[in-house]
Structure formats: structure tokens, C-alpha cells
Amino acid sequence: MSVINARLSNVNYDIHVQKGILNKLGSHITSLYKGDSIVVITDSNVEQFYGSIMDTVLNASGYKTHKIIIPPGEQSKSLINLNYVYNKLAEAEINRGNLIISFGGGVVGDLTGFAAATYMRGIPFINVPTTLMSQLDSSLGGKTAINLKVGKNLAGCFYHPKAVFIDPSLLETLPERVYIDGLAEAVKYGAINDAELFKKMLNANSLEAIKSSIEDIIYRCCSIKNMFVQKDETDRGERHMLNFGHTIGHAIERYFDYQKYTHGEAVSLGMLQITKKSEELNLTGKGSYEELKKLLEICKLPIDIPQMDVQKLISIAALDKKSYENRIKLVLLRSIGSSYIHQIPKEDLKLFIE
Ligand SMILES: NC(=O)c1ccc[n+]([C@@H]2O[C@H](COP(=O)([O-])OP(=O)(O)OC[C@H]3O[C@@H](n4cnc5c(N)ncnc54)[C@H](O)[C@@H]3O)[C@@H](O)[C@H]2O)c1
Ligand SMILES: [Zn+2]
């Protein structure tokens, strides 16, 4: 088993990565939690595949379980569902001495984390992520949020789990497009910080071969994210590096009203576009764009930038959260495996988009 320790200013927690760890969850939790009941928050898809395994595992360790099941999908990260979760926690008479488990993808994780952080000013929680995106990204780092009508992830806070248990065997039931969505972030981690990981995926040379070494890939990605989070817990500097491909990626997602591309697909296009331009501007070593394109293609991620109204895309990208006053922070590759922050005035954004 591989364990990564997150050492933060006020908390310390372990991130466990191991196929089959779900079956041993009960015994791991007994060393973290001495109470007798646990709330499991999940979505209906995860419940259908793994709900009874989770119950069995927790009951076998003597815990009584309460389930809160939300509908699957991004629209569940809402104030309405947050309210629903608060009411269910109250009904189950949960208090700060109890434990909540988030059991699902990033949607369940973000909603559960925010509910856990705010209900009674904080109930301890554990993350058991079930999508690739959540296993290598959203389940660690402490960011929690819900969406508001005016925009995504606008109400949230930093609140860390007591532990994260990542079981890559849960990915076997993931729809192909959801799996591939998460791979875009793995490519990102390799590109910004780990040339060896990038090369390993490239040498695998097929989606199937990448999938067969996913446990190691997840471990490496979590190690990289954890390193950036430790350096910059509240996302004010170093952690921006994790935003590679996201300024243009987010803009593409929004341009198509979140209908045409998944997050990972849009990030794939964002990484390619920024690297194509930064290479042309001699800000990135030659050949990086081609390598990136090759790996994204192996992962079956999109590599063709769609027809868009450039002015409209630029104005959406200029709204990026990582922009301050009139400047915007772009993440560029020095070469594959190495990245840096490049600040530009907003009006120069067109150099990277046109
Ligand atoms: N907090 C963070 O740092 C952070 C980072 C990245 C993304 N996010 C958030 O994560 C969310 C996206 O998360 P996601 O990509 O995991 O999507 P998701 O949670 O919507 O899950 C995708 C789909 O897969 C299903 N599913 C989940 N696990 C499954 C399994 N093992 N087998 C079969 N089906 C399964 C879900 O029911 C859902 O239909 C977004 O809201 C995003 O904002 C947060
Ligand atoms: Zn992302």
C-alpha cells in the first residue's frame, strides 16, 4: 500500500492509495474514529454499484450507518442539496463527535466537504473518492464548494478531510468518458512537474495500458498535488501551477455552456492551445506541444480546437479567477515536466488565444 502524508499548518492526514482498500475501510476507520455511527453521503450511481459493500464493511466494524443519497451530476452541487444534507444530518442527530464519509466523485466530495465544514461549525469527514478526477485531484487539497446561480464553486471554504482512501478498483465501473475526463488532469501533473510520469504514460502508448497502471499514476498525481498544496494551502501562489491549461480550458467550457466538453476535455484543449502559442513565442522549449498532443491523443482526449469567436473566448478567459486587477497569471511549460508562472497584462491574452 502507498500512503502520502499531507502535512499542513493545522492538520495532518494520510492519503491511502490501494486497490481493494474499500474492503478494509472499517478497520482503518477504527483507528481514526471511536464513535458508533457514521453518515455516508453518496450519489445514486455510486450507491447502486457500491452502496451495499460500504454498508457491509462499516457494519462489520461495528458502525451504524446513515445514508444520504443525492442525484448524480453537477447540478447536485447546489444550495438546495446543501439544505437537504443539513436536514438529513439533523434528522440523524449528527454532532461534532460523529463522522461523515464522502463516497463519490467530485460532486459528492465538494458538497459533502462544504456541508461537513459548516454543519455545527465542522464535523470530521473522510473522503472515499470514486472517479478518476476525484481520486487524483478533488479529494485532496481541502477545497470544498457548491455552485451558485451566478457561477460555479462560488460558495465554499477550505476544510481538510481526516483521511483519504483511494481504491482504484472502483474505477472499473466508470463510464469511459468520465474516466478519460480524469486522465486530462494526470497529463497535466506530468506536464507541469513530472517528466517521468509523462513519459511513462506516453510509453504505455494506449489507453488500455495506461489504465493498467492507474494505481501508480494516481499515487504520483496525488504526491504532486499534495506537494503544491503543502507549499500553498490557500491557493495564493505556488498552487496556481495546478491551473495549467485551465484558463483557456475554463473559457472553452463556458463558451459552450458546459454542454460540449467535459472539464477534462476542455483542459486538454486549453493545455494544447497555451503550449502551441508559448512555443511560438519562445516561452516554451521546442517539441513540447507535439509531445503533449501525442499523449492527449493516446488518452483519447480531444486535440482539435473547435471553431470559436475569438473575441468572445478572450473576454470569457479574461474573467478567470486567477486574474488580478489588469493582470492575468498563465501557467506555461518550460519543457515537459517543468512549468512556471507567466504574468501578462489582460490585453496580451489574445497572443495566446488567436
Ligand atoms: N475541490 C476540488 O479541489 C476540485 C477539483 C477538481 C474538480 N472538482 C469538482 O469535481 C466535480 C467533478 O467531479 P467528477 O469528475 O468526479 O464528477 P461526478 O462527481 O459528477 O461523477 C461523474 C459521474 O460518475 C458517476 N460515478 C462516480 N463514481 C462512479 C463509479 N465508481 N462507477 C460508476 N459511476 C460512477 C457519478 O454518479 C456521475 O454520474 C466538479 O463539480 C468540480 O468542480 C473539485
Ligand atoms: Zn481541473
145 CA: nearest ligand 1 atom: 1
| Number of the ligand 1 atom closest to the C-alpha atom of 113 | 1
Look at ligand 1, atom 7, and give the residue with the nearest C-alpha.
Answer: 138
C-alpha cell at 351: 497572443
Strand order in the sheet with 99-104: 2-7, 12-17, 163-166, 125-129, 99-104, 37-43, 64-70
Structural domain boundaries of the chain?
A: 2-173, 179-353
* Per-residue pLDDT at 175: 98
Which residues, at least 6 apart from 280, have a Cβ–Cβ distance to it below 8 Å? Answer: none
CA dist 71 and 3 (Å) reads: 31
Question: What's the half-sphere exposure (Cβ side, CA atoms, 13 Å) at 352?
Answer: 35
Choose which residue among 47, 82, 110, 143 to substitute to test ligand 1 binding: the one with the highest number of ligand atoms within 8 A of its C-beta.
110
**Cβ 328 vs Cβ 247: under 8 Å:** yes
* Domains 2-173 and 179-353 equal at CATH topology level: no
Tell which atom from ligand 1 comes closest to the C-alpha of 77: 41
Q: Rounded distance, CA 12 to CA 22, Å?
A: 21
Place of cell 474499500: 22
**Nearest ligand, measured from the Cα of 146:** 1
CA separation for the pair 209, 81 (Å, rounded): 38
Instruction: Report the separation in Å between the CA atom of 311 and the middle of ligand 1, taken as the mean of its atom positions.
Output: 31
Chain-centre distance for alpha carbon 30: 27
Q: Is the pTM of this model over 0.85?
A: yes
CATH class of 2-173: alpha beta
- CA 115 – CA 96 distance, rounded (Å): 12
User: What residue owns the CA closest to ligand 1's atom 3?
Assistant: 138
Residues with CB under 6 A from ligand 1: 43, 45-46, 49, 72-74, 77, 104-108, 110, 130-131, 133-134, 137-138, 141, 143, 153, 170, 173-174, 178, 181
Q: CA angle at residue 316 from 131 to 149, to 5 degrees? A: 60
Q: Which residues have C-beta within 8 Å of that of residue 247, sequence separation ≥ 6?
A: 270, 274, 317, 320, 322, 328, 330, 331
Q: Which ligand is nearest to the CA of 258?
A: 1
User: Separation of 136 CA from ligand 1 center, angstroms?
Assistant: 11
The letter for the amino acid at 215 is E
- Of all protein residues, the one whose alpha carbon is nearest to atom 6 of ligand 1 is 138
Atom of ligand 1 nearest to the CA of 143: 1
Q: Take atom 5 of ligand 1 and give the residue whose Cα is closest.
A: 138
- Cβ atoms within 10 Å of 205's Cβ, excluding its own: 12
Q: Closest ligand 1 atom, CA of 182? A: 15
* Contact in structure between 55 and 22 (CB atoms under 8 Å): no
CA distance 113 to 32: 18
**209 Cα to the center of ligand 2, angstroms:** 23
Nearest residue (by CA) to ligand 1, atom 41, is 107
Q: Tell me the best of 21, 178, 211 to mutate to test the pocket of ligand 1, counting ligand atoms within 8 Å of each CB and taking the most.
A: 178
Q: Is the dihedral of CA 303, 309, 311, 312 positive or negative?
A: negative
pLDDT by residue for the chain (354 residues), tens only, comes to 699 999 999 999 999 999 999 999 999 999 999 999 999 999 999 999 999 999 999 999 999 999 999 999 999 999 999 999 999 999 999 999 999 999 999 999 999 999 999 999 999 999 999 999 999 999 999 999 999 999 999 999 999 999 999 999 999 999 999 999 999 999 999 999 999 999 999 999 999 999 999 999 999 999 999 999 999 999 999 999 999 999 999 999 999 999 999 999 999 999 999 999 999 999 999 999 999 999 999 999 999 999 999 999 999 998 877 777 789 999 999 999 999 999 999 999 999 998
Fold of 179-353: Dehydroquinate synthase-like, alpha domain (1.20.1090)
Are 352 and 278 a contacting pair, CB within 8 Å?
yes
